[in-house]
A and B are shown apart, each in its own frame.
Chain A
């Protein structure tokens, strides 16, 4: 093989690999990406049942109900709407009424959000950035003090075996 042919082989191999990778990325982008939605968006715009998305807002006071077998239901709201969430599994350490929460799952046919993941907060002042933004839009944000550190904790998926 001449130098030129070898170079062409190399460029061909690199091109092919990159093309495959690009194809995979584009395909995965259309398929695996999960959008964040606030309760008000879900209520006003509607989301088709079965579409996976993240729902974030405040856990409404007095809405947490335990049904045995580790099933919990609670309402997530942001001032512009409320969505009821059903989750089976252990709730994260800092899950509390009146606090911010991000869950991931799908709406069922009745409009109930069946979550398989509840993202844990790991700082007492932590407010998920998405939730903070949604609350600001609805005028519910009251935490603009230095104590709020929107980036100080990590979203940790707490998943159930159904995943």
Chain B
């Protein structure tokens, strides 16, 4: 009965989202405040209904209700409880429900948000979010009903894919979906602006918090997925340029460009048309990712068991939204008033360059991901486009972008001068070069390019903090204490920028350091000792163990440093009888930011073990940097001007903006970025 109620709630939500779409948009058109005011409660209602439905499905999973086909296919009574719950979104139907839940959540958040959004813009935005919800609810109800019953109900489920029985499943998909789906609200705002034919700095300010939220979560989601792949797959890679990873990287890149272009729009009322286009493209890329994963065109652990109807349906949704939004864009964009002009060497110019580079980089990823699919469907030739392609196309675009980043951060609005910027960055650049030389000297004979990568990362981190330093110091004398006080008094959005850029630097250092990782593949018998990067690993023994819903062979190692025992670690080979599948669980030991990583392959007839030993120097920096980036987004979100409605006067306006980016009176009300 409860199950049917959950199913029914979805149908109700579909009906209510039709209201959420039609009534506010009609109200905005006819200037009817009453009709427009229907939007927020409808959006909240849709969210509540979907939340209920999601709760029911979770309950069915928690209680192993095998009368549900979905639970049978993806759960097992012996599965640890936490994986029963996370298993809700470890399959196509359940994850689609989570997708829609987040979609509705963002609609409801816009409905309750207290920031000043003009009523018409809010009404249209909520309506557009309703339209997206309608499409996906239809998809769920027609092709992927999670509440389908099965009769007679079996006694036992078929278990979840063992690769998904991991804490990563609890974290990675929700974070990623909040990011992916979060861009729907930016899309809805863009559509609303086009419908209204009006776009200005107010729009940019209204959209920015949502873009930052989505971007921050997407950053975390991608990083978490990368770390999960790193420890779960047993061979130490952290990014594979797999089409599914690319599918999440593309919206991230477009979203990054969007965050930067809305700044220009907010501060300088320029780049309007481009920003709208970016907002459309970002969500389109999110939709594309959904299509790639759920249509069966890709081979991936992320690709769920698929039937062609679903792929076709999503393709329909994709064509409808991308085609519709681009058509609306083509029709309305020429009517938008063009914004101000600026010199090529200026903050605006730098941000344009940023957008240019990021979108180009995104385009190369797009081509590399879709070209094999297009080629196969056109000519039947099967090719694979892997890391070498992306290293040859993506990196040559990304590296100059990162090199220019610190310059962009210090350049003045409207008109900057090259000499001034360079003079402000020579300390950071000098230290970065010093770091490069030092790393090169220490690792002489090692990888030649990696020290440059480290130097680039250092430059990014120093360049990021350079902004704070110059703004705190240049505001006049007064010693370290006053400078520190001034630095802390800088707007939080400034600190957000600093953290995000520094986080990028930290990630770059981590990526560059992978060049020094060491890998050994050896045969070991119990008692054998092998060295890896200065550590000795002793195989203590292999023994079987039975836990929960799997059996495993455990290889226990002792890690020694100069003969002194520093750690015990276990690596496992698990067999999940319900599916007859096996997985490898790597043994990890962290030393600072570096890790020793051990996994094993087959046990040979003579009892020896094929073992992979890795030393991964500074590898954790890759993910720590991503977390710092997301923290930057979170910090920028707490900035005054997103919490309070109207543009607020910066604390002590003229005094606070001590950098050379002194703005004319009209814009000085907005704290510096």
Contacts and interface: CB of A to CB of B under 8 A. Distances in A.
26 contacts: A1-B344, A6-B342, A13-B353, A17-B360, A20-B396, A25-B364, A25-B367, A27-B392, A28-B392, A31-B392, A33-B385, A34-B384, A34-B386, A35-B381, A54-B382, A90-B600, A94-B581, A120-B233, A122-B163, A130-B382, A133-B382, A150-B299, A153-B301, A156-B235, A157-B240, A158-B235
A1 B343 contact: yes
B518 to A, nearest CB: 9
Contact of B384 (A29, A33, A123): A33
Contacts, number: 150
Contacts of B304: 152
A155 B523 contact: no
* Chain A interface residue number, banded: 35 or more
B interface majority secondary structure: mixed
Given A18-B360, A32-B392, A68-B523, A93 B584 contact: yes
A124 B341 contact: no
Contact of B299 (A9, A35, A91, A154): A154
A interface majority secondary structure: mixed
A94 B383 CA distance: 23
Given A21-B393, A123-B161, A128-B299, 19 more contacts: A20-B396, A21-B397, A24-B392, A24-B396, A24-B397, A25-B368, A29-B389, A34-B383, A35-B383, A36-B383, A90-B602, A91-B601, A120-B233, A123-B581, A124-B579, A155-B299, A156-B233, A159-B237, A161-B521
Contacts of B371: 29
B71 to A, nearest CB: 18
A104 B573 CA distance: 25
B382 A35 contact: yes
Interface string B355-368: 01100110110011
Contacts of B244: 154
A104 B207 CA distance: 46
B82 interface: no
A21 B240 contact: no
B363 A69 contact: no
Contact of A149 (B297, B305, B392, B610): B305
B216 to A, nearest CB: 27
B352 interface: yes
A14 interface: yes
B298 interface: yes
A88 interface: yes
Nearest to A7: B341
Contacts of A34: 383-386
A128 B383 CA distance: 13
A161 B520 CA distance: 7
Contacts of B383: 33-36
Given A32-B389, A33-B383, A34-B383, A151 B356 contact: no
Given A128-B299, A151-B299, A25 B382 contact: no
Contacts of B523: 68-70
Nearest to A129: B299
Interface of B: 161, 163, 233, 235, 237, 240, 242, 244, 296-306, 341-344, 352-353, 356-357, 360-361, 363-364, 367-368, 371, 381-386, 388-389, 392-393, 396-397, 519-523, 573, 579-584, 599-602, 604, 610, 612
Given A34-B384, A70-B610, A152-B303, A94 B582 contact: yes
Nearest to B298: A151
Nearest to A9: B344
Contacts of A133: 382
Most A-side CB within 10 Å, residue of B300, B356, B384, B600: B384
Contact of A152 (B305, B352, B386, B602): B305
A32 B241 CA distance: 13
Most B-side CB within 10 Å, residue of A20, A32, A88, A120: A32
A66 B296 CA distance: 36
A24 B301 contact: no
Contacts of A88: 521
A154 B360 contact: no
Contacts of A122: 161, 163, 301, 581
B389 A153 contact: no
A89 interface: yes
Contacts of B353: 13
Contacts of A21: 360-361, 363-364, 393, 397
A138 interface: no
Contacts of B392: 24, 27-28, 31-32
B393 A24 contact: yes
Interface of A: 1, 3, 6, 9-10, 13-14, 17-18, 20-21, 24-25, 27-29, 31-36, 54, 66, 68-70, 88-91, 93-94, 104, 120, 122-124, 128-130, 133, 149-161
A29 to B, nearest CB: 7
CB-CB nearest 3 A-B residue pairs: A90-B601, A32-B388, A36-B382
A156 B522 CA distance: 21
A6 to B, nearest CB: 6
A24 B601 contact: no
B341 A66 contact: no
A90 B608 CA distance: 13
Contact of A36 (B237, B384, B581): B384
A19 to B, nearest CB: 10
A124 B159 CA distance: 13
Contact of B388 (A28, A91, A149): A28
Contacts of A3: 341
Contacts of B522: 70
A159 B614 CA distance: 13
Contacts of A130: 382
Given A32-B386, A90-B521, A93-B573, A24 B364 contact: yes
Nearest to B236: A159
A6 B385 contact: no
A10 B118 CA distance: 33
A32 B573 CA distance: 34
A93 B583 contact: yes
A151 B382 contact: no
B343 A151 contact: no
A76 to B, nearest CB: 16
Given A93-B582, A124-B579, A13 B356 contact: yes
A123 B604 CA distance: 23
A62 to B, nearest CB: 16
B608 to A, nearest CB: 9
Contacts of B302: 154
A107 B453 CA distance: 34
Contacts of B361: 21
A151 B296 contact: yes
Contacts of A154: 242, 244, 299-303
Nearest to A33: B383
A6 B297 CA distance: 44
Contacts of A70: 521-523, 601, 610
Contacts of A28: 388-389, 392-393
Contacts of B579: 123-124
Nearest to A12: B344
A33 B364 CA distance: 14
